[in-house]
Amino acid sequence: MKLLIASDIHGALPAAERVVQLFDQHRCDLLCLLGDLLNYGPRNGVPQGLDAPGIAALLNRHAGHIIAVRGNCDSEVDQMLLRFPIMADYALIADGTRRIFLTHGHIYNEEKMPALEGIDYFFYGHTHLPHIVPAADGRPLICNTGSPTFPKGGNEPTVALYEDGKVSLLKIFE
């Protein structure tokens, strides 16, 4: 199974277009979106190419291949534009015997893990700080996907790629 995992697009159509291009380029099975899709939020600046309806139209064309969760900037109004559900706080995906937990990061994160046993991979965003922490001592591999729109900490815009148990971060504008 191959997943492209992105968080924190925050209404930037150029970033969303690049995420979908990477999804197609890598021939992924699913596009996993970890929230904060259409709105940029009061703590961020206005992103280049702000176009929530354009992003909704773009993502709706791929609705059959999208699994999404709610971010802290997502609302029921956003859900009205989208043809795939975004209001769940988390999603679980099984890849054979591997269990993959997807969440935004404002409820569950590295410091507050869910009380579910047997999670092998934990993906989140929210902080816009991309990193991967290998699995150790009964903890799953942890991946923060960063943000394709508002990277923080001097990082470049990123998404994550999961392929048959391997996880990597991709710079979206290479």
List pLDDT tens digits, range 150-168.
999 999 999 999 999 999 9
pTM comes to 0.97
The C-alpha atoms of residue 47 and residue 31 are separated, in whole angstroms, by: 22
What per-residue confidence (pLDDT) applies to 34?
Answer: 98
pLDDT recorded at residue 173: 82
Of the CA atoms within 13 Å of residue 66, those in its CB half-sphere come to 22
Q: pLDDT tens digit string along 50-101? A: 999 999 999 999 999 999 999 999 999 999 999 999 999 999 999 999 999 9
State the Cα–Cα distance between residues 31 and 56, nearest whole angstrom: 14
Predicted local confidence at residue 45, as pLDDT: 82
